[in-house]
Amino acid sequence: SQQGEEDPQALSIQEGENATMNCSYKTSINNLQWYRQNSGRGLVHLILIRSNEREKHSGRLRVTLDTSKKSSSLLITASRAADTASYFCATVTGANSKLTFGKGITLSVRP
């Protein structure tokens, strides 16, 4: 079963614009992670935010977490054509640390 629901399902923007992707989940979590997947590099970890954190930054990435609303957002600033990929949020709910993924968001960045 998939816990995360990303929104929108697909996003197309111009290079240089910002991209915002949202994720909602259903149960309490230990942490939430964002991954990127493209055919060239497989599934790559982007950023992890723990349940007691509200915001984290990594380079051009900013992720927020609102545990009261059970939602997270990923902001990619100054997008590049190389950011074109599928993006997944994944939650960890127990000590087993298995990831429960959403269906993903397809991001297209036009040069």
CB of 105 to another protein, least distance (A): 10
Nearest to 21 by CA among 109, 106, 111, 110: 106
Instruction: Name the token pair of 81.
Output: 């054509």
Work out whether 52 is an interface residue with another protein (CB under 8 A). no
> Residue 33 interacts with another protein (CB under 8 A)?
yes
Closest CB to another protein among 21 and 111?
A: 21
The closest of 90, 104, 82 to 21, measured between CA atoms, is 104
Stretch that binds another protein, among 29-37, 55-63, 67-75, 76-84 (CB under 8 A): 29-37
82-111 binders of another protein (CB under 8 A): 88, 90, 92, 95-104
Q: What is the Cα–Cα distance from 75 to 94, expressed in whole angstroms?
A: 26
Place of tokens 């982007």: 46
What is the C-alpha to C-alpha distance for residues 86 and 103, in angstroms, rounded to an integer? Answer: 9
Q: Which residues bind another protein (CB under 8 A)?
A: 2, 4, 30-31, 33, 35, 42-45, 48, 88, 90, 92, 95-104
